[in-house]
Amino acid sequence: MSSSRDVLQRLVEFDTTSRESNLQLIEFVRDYLASFDVSCDLIYNEQRSKANLFATIGPAHLPGIVLSGHTDVVPVDGQAWTVAPFELTERDGKLFGRGTADMKGYIACVLALVPSLVNASLRLPVHIALSYDEEVGCLGVRSLLAELEQRPVKPMLCIIGEPTELKPVLGHKGKLAMRCDIQGEACHSAYAPLGVNAIEYAAELIGELGRIGSRLKAPEHHDVRFDPPFSTVQTGVISGGKALNIVPADCRFDFEIRALPTDDPRMVAQELQTYADQQLLPRMKAVSEQSEIRFSELSAYPGLATDARSEAAELIAAFCGSREFATVAFGTEGGLFNAAGIPTVVCGPGSMDQGHKPDEFISLDQLNGCDEMLHRMLLSISG
């Protein structure tokens, strides 16, 4: 497999939906690297059903460049695909299949570069990092980063290959996803004041979230590099109640905060907790001492804000041939790499406009463009 297209064809054939194991793909990559005498480390999850992969080509005792991508993809359930999602279909200069844009296209380009990396006289090492469970909260990469933190030399740059149409991206928002469980007291709806209506108290909490979100929209909180230019709050899931004639004892809702890198999303969660403790719980417990409002974290990852004057920014500008730095609305593992002390940028082939949709695709032009970007990187670090 000498071309990125050929490698991509193999990668798409592995169903690495987040709920499935990614081991077949990881073992394929391990064996592919071994065919070029490149060894790698596998970092398994607790159940050993999934694994991260980390490989180094070149002088490992020096700071190098990490080429990082996630192996999991989102589900195809309920989507109206016109092609087989786990087969590569070529049509009109486009390659269709789940994960082609997000983000197996980038991984394919990285793997296609391996023979050139092995044969080059590298002044700096190139690391290949593949993770699992990015799509469900950037979960898997955390154990990989924990391993890297134990090593004596940290990389000088990480390139997260999420689809940006090969534009250099230096920032994205962070995310905090939370769950709120309200425990009230059930009774016959004819005697509603004798119960504690969990749905109605959930509605008050959601209303308070809306007021917090409105405050975050104020111009003084804006950062025009982002779209929208402020931190956002939204409730996405809610459930509760058994029947119309029963005051509901239980209600649950999930909400998220998409925060500018300069904002702390946990401040929103803490403000809502304070509102619950001071304004709602006393009223609830006055009717039933068993009443509760519980908050739990579902997932979180930090934002990314790499300085446009940094060495990381200069390097990616040289590799992709552009200084038109941008931000993206979606999150990546970049904030976690950056928090681990590894300067990080986001730049990869394809567009997120095609990601997570039926008939996901990447254009051959974008794939070839990524090959060219990585070869420019190779030339810059070759002796």
- What positions carry a catalytic annotation? 72, 134
> How far apart are alpha carbons 269 and 256 in whole angstroms?
9
64-94 b/e (C-beta count within 10 Å ≥ 16 → b):
bbbbbbbbbbbebeeeebebebbebbeeeeb
CA nearest 64: which of 381, 347, 304? Answer: 381
Cβ-Cβ contacts under 8 Å for 291 (sequence gap 6 or more): 183, 184, 185, 196, 281, 284, 285
Q: How far is CA 35 from the centre of its chain?
A: 30
Question: Token pair 């990015």 is at which residue?
Answer: 134
Which own/partner pairs from 45-48 qualify as long-range (CB within 8 Å, at least 24 positions apart)?
45/132, 45/140, 45/143
Given a contact cutoff of 8 angstroms between Cβ atoms, the answer to whether 195 and 135 are in contact is: no
Which residues on adjacent β-strands are paired with residue 96? 89, 361
CA nearest 194: which of 202, 186, 203? Answer: 186
For 174, the enclosing helix (H) or strand (E) is strand 174-183
Nearest 5°: phi and psi at 108? Answer: -60, -40
**54, 85, 167, 202, 317 from 249: Cα distances, Å:** 49, 43, 51, 11, 56
> How far apart are alpha carbons 13 and 84 in whole angstroms?
10
Q: Is 321 left (phi over 0), alpha (psi -120 to 50) or beta?
A: left
Sign of CA dihedral 58, 60, 63, 66: positive
CA nearest 130: which of 57, 43, 62? Answer: 43
